[in-house]
Chains A and B, each alone.
Chain A
Amino acid sequence: MPSPARSDAGGDGAGILIGEVHTGLLLNSASLRQDMLPAVLGLLPGERVRSFERPISHAVSPELLVGVDCDLSTASGTRVRGIGTLAVRAAITGGRVLQGSAWTRLMGGHAEHRLPWSHYLARPGVVETVGRRRNHPYHADLADGFLDRTNNRKAPGIDFGAICGQIMGEVQRSPYLDRRSPFKAARTTLRWVAEESPERRIGFILGDDGSRTTRITFDGQPISAVIELCEDLALHDWLLSTLLDVIDRGMPSDGPHETMMRRIRPAVDHLIHLWMPGARVVESLLPLWESLDTKPGFTRQWDTLVNRIRDQLALRTLTLLSASAEGVPGRNEQGIRS
């Protein structure tokens, strides 16, 4: 991954944006201090790590470019070759959550054959199709092909997974991390497509197989704003599913108190304060987040979970208190305060 990318190049409104965001837990015992972020995310010498302390600690690596030349996935199965570059970056939120995010703009190229690389390098973050140029329904074919993971007759397309996996791996193997995370969490993958349209809209689908896809239409915002929206969505979806998993596992109603505490404690300590939907989304795209918050109801689900945890903890504390009041020695009380 040699050269820096600039994601707002182009911006002529043509083509569609496609990308993936992978989200997982940073491999470190403590949440990473703000001053360590540049070292951990400094994947390109000389390029700056952007970091923000408010409203929540967040840092983004420089964007790297990756060259691709492969058949794109199409819903119809039509062969379409794409050549160009993807942009990819890593981000850390709250010193805890690591994301690998890659995207490109798919555009109809004019060439019948592959052009010299200088042509593609002059268009960072753009993949051009080779062959006759067609328009709108053609975009739909590419968008549907990209989002549909069940159709295995189609070309596998651009391997965003490998590219995100690689950049996350580089961060996770950083000499500045101790690789002793307080708990384990599954990674999630959000695949997204965005197109310009006079009407702003968003849709989010969580498949039975755990796949996440989202479609966005936007009007005139810079690409970077769309990417940030997708990353914010992926982050909160991951927080929600990780907390759900912790609770599923940690709250058998009759389990011993210590076991429950061991399982739930990390979530309480490390995840709950990270919930801040829309914190980094530009004003004009906020209504999209809000519409997700009414329909799948992300925040409602989150609040329900958090309340369940609080109730459980309170209940356990009461049980322990009454047990000790009756002179029965309480079980392990450690971990209730906080």
Chain B
Amino acid sequence: MLVIATSDKGGTGRSVTSCNVAYRRALQGSDVCYLDFDFGSPTSGAIFSIDPVSRGTEGGGLHSYLQGKIAEPQRIDVWRQTDRETLRSRPPGAGRLVLLPGDQGGGEFSMTKDILQRCTKLFVRLLEEFDLCVVDLSAGRSYAAELVLAATAQQELRGVPHRWLVFHRWTRQHVIAASGLVYGRRGLIEAGAERGHDSQVLADSIRFVRTAVVNPDSEELAGLRPTQVVWLLDCNKDLQELARQHQLGRTMVLATIPLDPVLQMREQLISDRDVWASQIANAATVAAFDQLARRIADDAAWDEL
């Protein structure tokens, strides 16, 4: 299956969350690949701690492939190549985890018929080998998003499930922006219909992921003054209402990822060791990634509307 990660605003946590979800899904035993389609700033190499490609590759990445300069884009086996020793070597029972990096200094490009065809070919190629292909787009309405919308509407990819995750932070501005990206003018659904998708089917394959959410009930907030807690709870209620009005209420939310101290400081994978041995990350964060990784592939989570 294809899972496409997008967001309206930049810096929502889209890449960090998707990388962690790819990692968790691989730990759960699936074969996973991660495609960095954020051609302007391909940062996934840094999140997987693969130093030579931390800002994209020089060895023929997705950008070069789509432009027809190379026959196949570079693949990096994350288990073998990550610089983090605790992540190196595939744990027993885990699936493959492969990164297809973007190119250094790639930049955006407009879509042509050839590029569309190469993109479709690539997806078919990867679906042969991987249970899950995560495609990380750039923020906002991009050519890459248009390209993926068009590719998933091609005859070759009919019948292959593709699901969209729209990431947003849990604030007024972000809720409104995320809603606009999906339902607004030139939004996902409208643009998708123009590319040949059935609007209803497309709408059913979109879910939202709230990132870096502060849970007002959490024990870390135990030190807050009662007035602060009341204020937070009120804000939260207002946001819930706002989200509902903008069609991203509860049933549309696939996951809520808590604010995590490690991710606040650094873009990285969170291993179980970070939680249990060094205790720098929160167990709730890993649990949320783990659950999202399961729900992505769980048909029931997508049927309940």
Q: Which residues of A contact B (CB under 8 A)?
A: 24-25, 27, 159, 161-162, 165-166, 169, 172-173, 175, 178-181, 184-187, 248-249, 252, 255, 259, 263
Contact = CB atoms under 8 A, between A and B. Distances in A.
Given A27-B124, A169-B125, A172-B128, 19 more contacts: A24-B128, A27-B128, A159-B71, A166-B71, A172-B125, A173-B120, A173-B121, A173-B124, A175-B155, A179-B127, A179-B156, A179-B160, A180-B159, A184-B127, A185-B129, A186-B31, A186-B129, A187-B129, A248-B92
B23 to A, nearest CB: 16
B93 interface: yes
Nearest to A179: B160
Interface string B137-177: 00000000000000000011101100000000000000000
Contacts, number: 60
B183 interface: no
Nearest to A170: B121
Contacts of B92: 248, 252
A210 B287 CA distance: 34
Interface residues of B, number: 23
A185 B124 CA distance: 13
A172 B124 CA distance: 7
B21 to A, nearest CB: 18
Nearest to A26: B128
A184 B92 CA distance: 18
Contacts of B155: 175
A186 B93 CA distance: 16
B127 A165 contact: no
Nearest to A251: B93
Contacts of A185: 128-129
B128 A249 contact: no
A185 B92 CA distance: 17
B129 A162 contact: no
A162 B156 CA distance: 20
Interface in B82-117: 92-96
Contacts of B159: 178-180
A184 B124 contact: no
Contacts of B157: 179
Contact of A165 (B29, B71, B96, B160): B71
Contacts of B94: 249
A230 B196 CA distance: 44
Nearest to B161: A180
B131 interface: yes
Contacts of B71: 159, 161-162, 165-166
**B93, B96, B130, B155 interface centre (most CB from chain A within 10 Å):** B93
A186 B96 CA distance: 9
